Structure 1
């Protein structure tokens, strides 16, 4: 082999060696990248494991809180049930007491009659303290009622004079410019019944006589009419 051929051969060998070195360098770079990737994967695995543990702890804590909340709800529901039962019993007792009071009111009014539309006379008299001027004279409501029974109901005077009353008085009337209603309490129930029977002789609607009932009973009667 002459010198020219030897030189050509050596150049080819050097070129092959250079190619091999380049490939080795590439392999070394790839090995470094693989190791870095393995490191990153290991780190991510560690993070994932830590995150998984944290999520598990959070889930356990949340589950415990939900159980506690459910227990509280169950206890509150039980307490609400007890309170509802107590309220229901109290409402029943209140209704019973209301019925008792209503019955007592009705009993206290059963001997009463209401006379509506009887005019009021405003009489004047001298002041009792001796000073100058006049003052309203108090109405004799019993006398007004007796006169009404005799003149309007045409009940015999002897019967009217024999009637005895517990109390006869006027009550406030919310309708303006209307005479105040007279409440008559009869001592004798037969006298009350007689007046009630004769009440149809009055000319409605200006003047009439009704039985007295508590407001609740009046409302019930009004709804039935």
Structure 2
């Protein structure tokens, strides 16, 4: 079931920090995302590749709800996602959309990812799996193995080529 949900969200990205009109005024999310991508990501005319954009969540005073955008293809989605690095230091953010269960797993792994990067290790979060220096993290014993540098022969870790 989770795999099916992931596949249905494959072409989606979440956009954070995009201004929202007050009250119940209608907004054109396609033009909002199109303008944002041109102004902040340097990608022109992305609106023609947007199939279905809409806000998610409940309105809260002083906060902007995220916009979920379904792109016409995975290739277009990746073009936008890779350019999201230009948003550093702004109030905006872009991330992949995942089912709630995977979001919770990622939330648990994120602090470990940050710590590994602080130690100078190469850490990557791929869907709901964390890789540290090419080894899949599976708990503290894996982390300890990665820190000691004895990855080879470890039964509890899976190596990732990359």
Alpha-carbon distance in 2 for matches of 1:205, 1:197: 16
Correspondence 1:103 to 2:3:
yes
Q: Is the 8 A contact 1:173 1:179 kept in 2?
A: no
Q: Which runs of 5+ in 2 are unaligned?
A: 111-162
What is the number of equivalent residue pairs in this alignment?
110
By how many angstroms is 1:176 displaced?
4.7
Alpha-carbon distance in 2 for matches of 1:175, 1:122: 11
Cross-structure match for 2:25: 137
Q: Is the 8 A contact 1:102 1:214 kept in 2?
A: yes
Question: With structure 1 as the length reference, what TM-score do the two structures score?
Answer: 0.45
Alpha-carbon distance in 2 for matches of 1:174, 1:224: 29
In the TM superposition, what whole-angstrom CA distance separates every residue of 1:19-77 from its partner, at most 9, and x where no partner exists? xxxxxxxxxxxxxxxxxxxxxxxxxxxxxxxxxxxxxxxxxxxxxxxxxxxxxxxxxxx
Higher helix share: 1
The alignment partner of 1:152 has SS state of helix
Alpha-carbon distance in 2 for matches of 1:204, 1:174: 25
Root-mean-square deviation (CA), in Å? Answer: 2.1
* Aligned ranges 1:1-225 → 2 under 5 Å: 101-122=1-22, 136-155=24-43, 157=44, 159-161=45-47, 163-173=48-58, 176-204=61-89, 206-225=91-110
The alignment partner of 1:194 has SS state of helix
Greater gyration radius: 1
Higher strand share: 2
CA separation of 1:217 and 1:205: change in aligned 2, threshold 3 A = farther
Q: Which runs of 5+ in 1 are unaligned?
A: 1-100, 124-135
By how many angstroms is 1:204 displaced?
4.7
Alpha-carbon distance in 2 for matches of 1:212, 1:183: 8
Question: With structure 2 as the length reference, what TM-score do the two structures score?
Answer: 0.61
